[in-house]
Structure 1
Amino acid sequence: MPRWKPDARERLVEAALDLFTEQGYDETTVAQIAERAELTRSTFFRHFSDKRELLSAGQEMLSALLAEGIAAAPDDATPLEAVAAGLDRAAGAMTEFNRGIGPRMHAAIEANEELRARNAMKSIGLAAAMAEALQRRGAAESVARVAAELGVLAFGIGYRRWSAPARDEAPGELVTYTREAFAELRAAAAELR
């Protein structure tokens, strides 16, 4: 099997999503994923510990990008402004590959209870990274947690809209979608008074 082709990690994700769509998550094996990607099983295990990890690939990087954006926000930024900076940083790093796999990844996760639970844990991890970054900036824990949860929700909404735009809508930048979602959530939160 040719191992010299670039982008092994992306090829593995693409192959897995194809197989999950064709035959289901539970019926798909690591060997099948590696074969579809034209890679070896050992190459698969260099990138992922198991097939579940394929669907949360990039979580650590995303958490780091969100936290970096929050840390880089101006010193006088409010917690919500800092979260917006984190969203901009993370959204700016997403590529066309990320957009292309969104709907298939969402479908694979929704079709499997274990994956839904794992995805919920991913959201908790992203919120924790953002809340910690906000607390390092001096935000109170409760304020940091609420702002972080809004940020995670905005990123999820923005990502879904970006990766599956309406038929008559050309996909713009993810930053635009996350900003719009965050503005909507901030307005909704203001109505909770």
Structure 2
Amino acid sequence: MVRWEPGGTERLRMAALDLYVRQGFEQTTVAEIAAAAGLTERTFFRHFADKREVLFNGQEVLEAQFLAGVAEAPDGSSPLDLAAAALAGSAGFFSEDRRAWSRRRQTVIGANASLQERESLKMATLAGSLAAALRDRGIAEPAATLAGQTAVTVFSVSFATWVEDDETRTFPAIEHDVLAELTALTAATVQAPAAERPTV
């Protein structure tokens, strides 16, 4: 019987990412990942369903932090306030010691269409979960869906900025700046005279 190795998940994640960066995601096999981590293929599949999940493992933790932010927001919060609360709840997931991993992970995803599709599905699922949480807080449609999508958009832009090579701001600081810019843009659009607004 194969022994459950302590720290096996992290060893497999690091070994897989090294191989994905060096030789490509499609070219890397589970056997190679397991061997590089000093483990067996059977042990790999105890930790991950397939080699894609090495890159997407932890999605449920991130979603839980978004939803906790919504749940903990004060009564009477507006849809945008709830979106901001969700973003604040998620920010702790992206500590500075995670940035190097995230940069390399994003390089791998950016080079593979199927991984990009998986990432898009992850974001769509998150937006749907947030919209449901907002509805549970009494936010009607379409405001709940718009706010959920807004939170995910701000998150996506913030994450892309955070993993840039020359970026040094913390993730919470970037989210704050991106949300402030979106809020200013929305306010400017709402205040523009009707004659200046584009027609559909």
TM-score of the superposed pair, with normalisation by structure 2? 0.85
Map 1:131-150 to 2 at 5 A: 131-150=131-150
1:30 pairs with 2:33: no
- Seq. identity, %: 40
Q: Classify 1:192/1:15 alpha carbon distance in 2 versus 1 (closer, same or farther; 3 Å).
A: farther
Q: Which consecutive residues of structure 2, in runs of 5 or more, have no partner in the other structure?
A: 191-200
Moved more, 97-106 or 110-119: 97-106
Contact 2:83 / 2:147 at 8 angstroms: preserved in 1? yes
Cα RMSD (Å) of the superposition? 2.1
Q: Report the equivalent of 2:94.
A: 94
Contact 2:127 / 2:152 at 8 angstroms: preserved in 1? yes
Larger Rg over CA atoms: 2
| Matches of 2:184 and 2:40, distance apart in 1 | 50
Q: Report the equivalent of 2:194.
A: none
2:170 to 156, 169, 173: 173
Moved more, 64-73 or 49-58: 49-58
Map 1:51-66 to 2 at 5 A: 51-66=51-66
Q: Classify 1:64/1:127 alpha carbon distance in 2 versus 1 (closer, same or farther; 3 Å).
A: same
Moved more, 26-35 or 88-97: 88-97
TM-score of the superposed pair, with normalisation by structure 1? 0.88
Q: Classify 1:181/1:2 alpha carbon distance in 2 versus 1 (closer, same or farther; 3 Å).
A: farther
One-letter code aligned to 1:182: L
| Matches of 1:104 and 1:2, distance apart in 2 | 30
Q: CA deviation at 1:73?
A: 0.4
Q: CA deviation at 1:10?
A: 2.6
Aligned pair count reads 189
Higher relative contact order (CA 8 A, sep 6+): 1
Q: Which consecutive residues of structure 1, in runs of 5 or more, have no partner in the other structure?
A: none
Q: Report the equivalent of 1:74.
A: 74
One-letter code aligned to 1:187: A
Contact 1:3 / 1:39 at 8 angstroms: preserved in 2? no
Q: CA deviation at 1:160?
A: 2.5
Contact 1:13 / 1:54 at 8 angstroms: preserved in 2? yes
Secondary structure, counterpart of 2:25 in structure 1: coil
